[in-house]
Structure 1
Amino acid sequence: MSAMGFINRLLGRKQSQLPPFDFARNRYPAKKTWPPNLRELTEKQQFHFERKFKRRTRLKSIKPTWNKWTKIVQWSLISFIIVHGVFFYDFSTDPMNPTPGKQPFQGLRDKMWAILGNFYTQKPSTIGVGDRGERRTELMSSPRAGVEAFDDVSPTAK
């Protein structure tokens, strides 16, 4: 059994019932031999052959979807690294920093946090609720506030 037959058997495919291809009895022979022997061609034919097939391989290698997504991933990574480095990375402890202990983008960071500082966090003063276990500042009017109107109504009285 050939290697291909063994693989087909493993994959659950039936072995081909067609006889193996016979190139000598091909009904559709190629017009030119492939690959051509470049030593038999003239310089002009060699040049023409090389230009034609370089162009064909170049056209074949263009993959617009791959190029598009590669650009998107590259620019996303570049922008993430720049934003992280400028706004969040701690340069003061970096051993490669030429000025140890200083943040090179501190002015820019201060401006950003002045604009966005309250956007990402909430302080208890903005929420209006005290800490857990803290006493209320004003007393409740009645422990049953809002439910007195329903005291006299009985569901079976209708």
Structure 2
Amino acid sequence: MFATLVRRMAGGPIPPRLRNATATPLVEAYNSPYKPKKIWPPDFSKLSQKEQFRFERRYKRRVKLATARPRWDKIVRLAQLFSVTSVLIYSVLFMDWQTENQPFQGLRSKFWGVLGAFSPAQRDERRTPDIAAITNSK
């Protein structure tokens, strides 16, 4: 980023033919032999209420279409969903509430009990048969 900025500053001034090239089409548009049928923006003081409302509706619809960014909106919605969900999961399962009665203690104990059944120690206990139970059953 800074290398590009330094390179552009060291390049010198923009030649005059390139500087005026951007302004030329704009000037030509105003000097066009084809005049527009309608003047934009219209003079709202000369329009009726119904015509004003139609122009407003049309303008709002066009602005909404021009500013629509569906990919960005989807990313923002997903980021919001992820952040809210992660905060809720953290507050329910991991957060220390610094109180005597934890509000989600029942849910926590049930969750960690189910998750604890998949721990390596619990898995080994399930795999090895209880020797005392086997000898007593004989």
State the match for 2:69 in structure 1.
Answer: 63
State the match for 2:89 in structure 1.
Answer: 83
Note the C-alpha offset of 1:113: 1.4
The residue type paired with residue 29 of structure 1 is K
- Partner-residue secondary structure (3-state), 1:48: helix
Larger RCO (CA within 8 A; separation ≥ 6): 2
What RMSD over aligned residues (CA atoms) do the two structures have, in Å?
Answer: 2.8
Residue 101 (1) aligns with residue 100 (2): yes
TM-score by length of 2: 0.62
State the match for 1:37 in structure 2.
Answer: 43
Matched residue pairs, number? Answer: 108
Note the C-alpha offset of 1:44: 2.3
State the match for 2:133 in structure 1.
Answer: none
Note the C-alpha offset of 1:102: 1.8
Note the C-alpha offset of 1:28: 4.0
**Unpaired runs of 5+ in structure 1?**
1-8, 94-99, 127-158
| Equivalent runs, 1:14-33 vs 2, <5 Å | 14-15=15-16, 16=18, 17-18=20-21, 20=24, 21=27, 25-33=31-39
Note the C-alpha offset of 1:74: 0.9
Residue 73 (1) aligns with residue 79 (2): yes
| More helix, by proportion | 2
Residues 1:52 and 1:11: Cα distance change in structure 2 (over 3 Å) = farther
Note the C-alpha offset of 1:33: 1.9
Q: Is the deviation greater in 41-50 or in 80-89?
A: 41-50
Note the C-alpha offset of 1:46: 1.2
Residues 1:23 and 1:11: Cα distance change in structure 2 (over 3 Å) = farther
Distance in 1, Cα, partners of 2:83 & 2:51? 47
**1:112-131 deviation per Cα after TM superposition (whole angstroms, max 9, x unaligned):** 111212646x56xx6xxxxx
Who wins on radius of gyration, i.e. which is larger?
A: 1
- Between the two proteins, what is the percent identity of the paired residues? 35
Residue 50 (1) aligns with residue 49 (2): no
Note the C-alpha offset of 1:36: 1.5
Distance in 2, Cα, partners of 1:115 & 1:44? 66
